[in-house]
């Protein structure tokens, strides 16, 4: 089973697909070359594109799209001062 794991770290550009997080590629096909490969900090949209290209499942650790749409957005200033 091929999986791209995505753990949300930041709101990114303020859109669900634009969330920024840490991503990992896990192929689980017996090979060691790509197993657990760190993809770095990328957007959720980029992680989804990689999953499609690799015919992998996308596993998102964070809010769902519905939850994201329900939550109020904090302004850049509010995030900067921690409110």
* pLDDT, tens digit (0-9, with 9 covering 90-100), for 52-65: 999 999 999 887 77
Number of independent structural domains in the chain = 1
Query: Which pTM value belongs to this model?
Result: 0.72
- Among the listed residues 8, 3, 9, the one whose alpha carbon sits nearest the alpha carbon of residue 24: 3
Looking at residue 42, what is its pLDDT? 95
Give the residue numbers spanning the domain of 30: 3-81
Query: How open is the CA angle 53-54-59, to the nearest 5 degrees?
Result: 105
Long-range pairs for 49-54: beta carbons < 8 A, 24 or more residues apart: 50/4, 50/23, 50/25, 51/2, 51/4, 54/2, 54/4, 54/25, 54/27
Looking at residue 77, what is its pLDDT? 61
pLDDT band (50, 70, 90) for residue 24: very high
Judged against a pLDDT cut of 80, whether residue 2 lies above it is answered with: yes
């Amino acid at each position: 089973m091929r999986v791209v794991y995505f753990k949300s770290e930041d709101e990114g550009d303020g859109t669900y697909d634009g969330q920024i997080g840490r991503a990992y590629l896990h192929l689980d096909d017996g090979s060691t070359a790509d197993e657990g490969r760190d993809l770095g900090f990328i957007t959720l949209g980029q992680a989804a594109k990689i999953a499609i290209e690799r015919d992998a499942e996308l596993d998102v650790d964070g809010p769902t799209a519905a939850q994201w749409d329900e939550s109020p957005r904090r302004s850049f200033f509010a995030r900067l001062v921690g409110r």
